[in-house]
Structure 1
Amino acid sequence: MERASKSQLYVASRDGRTAPKSIAQSLCYCCKTSFLTGADGAMYGVWRHVYPGDLRDMAFTVSRDGGRTFAAPVRVSEDGWEFDGCPDNGPTLAVDGSRRAHVAWPAPVDVKNPNALSLFYATSTDARRFTPRVRIPTRSNAGHVQIVARADGSALVAWDESAEGGRRVRYTTIRRSPAGGTVTFALITELGMGKYPALAVMGGTVLVTWSQAQAGGSVIGVRELP
């Protein structure tokens, strides 16, 4: 907790117009952050924050003035995960055409068993309040989650999880009802043994890549998803 309280999250522009500046402090510095620019021009970000009591929950912010200022971070979900260390397993973020933010992240189902991680999902339409978290139906210890939003407002999520002495990559599509109260998951599909998936949207096509072990090294798998 003491070391994490000294960490800060900085943003800057590559063209030098925005000098590096801190927008948050006391974050989990080993877990990846996720930042993007939405179709509306706003900048959105999410990271694993270290809250009082050493609770490692997700924090979310938005800038609507080109990164000059950011809103005070809001807590995505109160998971209650007390952990004196770094999980090295951060959140992922997507924003659809309706400005709905989709966030997925790893956390324990039971905080008394912090080594058994599952994945959770929540959304926000106003960048201030999130829906109650929903568990993504993983089979075993999961992480390295990635998410993209599709034109129809659904989200596609990929991750890796423990399997057969290694890691297996899986994905699913998440759909939320127009009223926002019901979440459904498509049939979960396995891509094979591997880890560290990455997703990209090209027009109407979603591509997934992942690392696969091979004798003497590794290769990168690539697949177009339906």
Structure 2
Amino acid sequence: MNVLLLALGACLFSSVTLADEHAAHSTTQSNSARKWLARQEQAPRLAVAASFDDHGRLWLARAVGRHLQISHSDDAGENFSSPVTVNEVPELIAADGQSRPQIAVVGQKIYLNWTQVLPEPFAGHIRFAVSNNVGQSFSPPVTVNDNQEAITHRFNAMLADAKNITIAWIDKRDGSGKADYRGAAIYTAQSHDGGQTFTANRKQADHSCECCRLGMASDKDGTALIFWRQIFGRNIRDFALARLDEPLMRATEDGWAIDACPHHGGTLAVDRDAIRHLAWFTGAEKSPGLYYRRIDGKTPSKPMPFGNIDAQASHPAIATQNGNVHLVWREFDGKYTRILGMYSTNQGKAWSAPKELSSTEGAADDPLLIQGRGAIWLVWNTARQGVAVKQVSP
């Protein structure tokens, strides 16, 4: 059984004399930073962002070298336009694993959000740019986190509508220099003027897991909901859920005790009746694997297992349309990475049998589900086949 675990790295210092301690510390930091940057440069930058606009045009954002580029397709991903560069000044952009650029299209505006990788290990800044002319050009990127330390501000998520832009991320400012601070924190910022300015950063919760991506969705009234892996007690890493204007509630009760970050965030969707649909991974010894839960009002359903844990079932994505709910995830058989999917036509009460949707050899992004053109679509980027877009709604 393969449970996905990845501990946070740590700098290891040699035994030195007191006189040489400062020099040795600086050298170790420098070596650590070089190794960190080398790993980030070499990582396959396959994590993409995609969104349909109101006219059915598909917009795609991806990291190419040290630039974020955007292109569009008028035939649902069969062909794409020449790319437009978002950040004229090069910067290293996180676009693999739990880090994904974010895109939202609202009328004539296109909003982009990403994490800039800094030279210091595990450090980053939350970045934002806007196009006011339907993707022809972009404003110079701004840094959204108002704490400017070279520490973790990473794993960003974004929602946008005609009124607000909401960005959330994982932030370690509250634990900086505090050995007894558990994990990180969830921070948010909003713009009420189309991305021209952002509010002061606001802390949603202390003691989040350090490196699991965030799930975000709009509640029925438009308020942002955030779904994240939280540290409960000393080191139980289950999930929390919160509206932007409310304290967190515990959303899962797996009891996964692990002194490391699993690098395995959850996914969230809200349907037309405000039912919340959650999917996540747990490595809890008693019941590891992927799970789905619906929360109708204050009533959560019993967690439903799905996927084949022996095939490393992992990294789910979820989306809703009318009364339908779609789940996709990835599995690996030793040679091929496969994307499987299943759906419910009654708001998650009963589900179809799983079906294979796509497969590849080699490196691949996690699956992404988006809505548009009256349907739900799978967007999947692989090293061999490139970006593939497939309609999955029945």
Q: TM-score range by the shorter chain?
A: 0.7 to 0.9
By how many angstroms is 1:213 displaced? 3.3
Is the radius of gyration larger for structure 1 or structure 2? 2
Structure that is richer in strand per residue: 1
Contact 2:183 2:209 in 1 (8 A): no
1:8 aligns with 2:185: yes
Which residue is 1:208 aligned to? 378
Counterpart selection for 1:189 from 340, 355, 362? 355
Q: Which consecutive unaligned segments of at least 5 residues does structure 1 have?
A: 64-69
Which residue is 1:66 aligned to? none
What is the RMSD of the two structures over their aligned residues, measured on CA atoms? 2.4
Task: Report the AA paired with residue 170 of structure 1.
Answer: L
Write out aligned runs for 1:110-125 (5 A).
111=285, 117-125=288-296
- The CA distance in 2 between the partners of 1:163 and 1:4, in whole Å, is 39
By how many angstroms is 1:18 displaced? 2.8
Which residue is 1:155 aligned to? 325
Contact 1:76 1:129 in 2 (8 A): no
- The CA distance in 1 between the partners of 2:332 and 2:234, in whole Å, is 29
Contact 1:155 1:175 in 2 (8 A): yes
* 3-state SS of 1:84 partner: coil
Counterpart selection for 1:97 from 272, 294, 313? 272
Which residue is 2:388 aligned to? 221
Residues 3/169 of structure 1: CA separation in 2 closer, same or farther (3 Å cut): farther
User: Identity across aligned pairs (percent)?
Assistant: 25
By how many angstroms is 1:206 displaced? 0.9
Count residues in correspondence: 207
Task: Report the AA paired with residue 169 of structure 1.
Answer: I
Counterpart selection for 1:85 from 243, 260, 268? 260
Please list the CA deviations of residues 184-204 of structure 1 after superposition, one character each: whole Å capped at 9, or x if unmatched. Answer: 221211123244110001142
By how many angstroms is 1:17 displaced? 5.1
Contact 1:30 1:86 in 2 (8 A): yes
By how many angstroms is 1:107 displaced? 1.1
By how many angstroms is 1:118 displaced? 1.8
- The CA distance in 1 between the partners of 2:373 and 2:218, in whole Å, is 17
Residues 17/143 of structure 1: CA separation in 2 closer, same or farther (3 Å cut): same
TM-score in terms of structure 2 length: 0.49
Which residue is 1:23 aligned to? 204
By how many angstroms is 1:175 displaced? 4.9
1:131 aligns with 2:301: yes
By how many angstroms is 1:95 displaced? 0.2
Which residue is 2:282 aligned to? 107
Structure that is richer in helix per residue: 2
- Larger mean Cα displacement after TM superposition, 136-145 or 95-104: 136-145
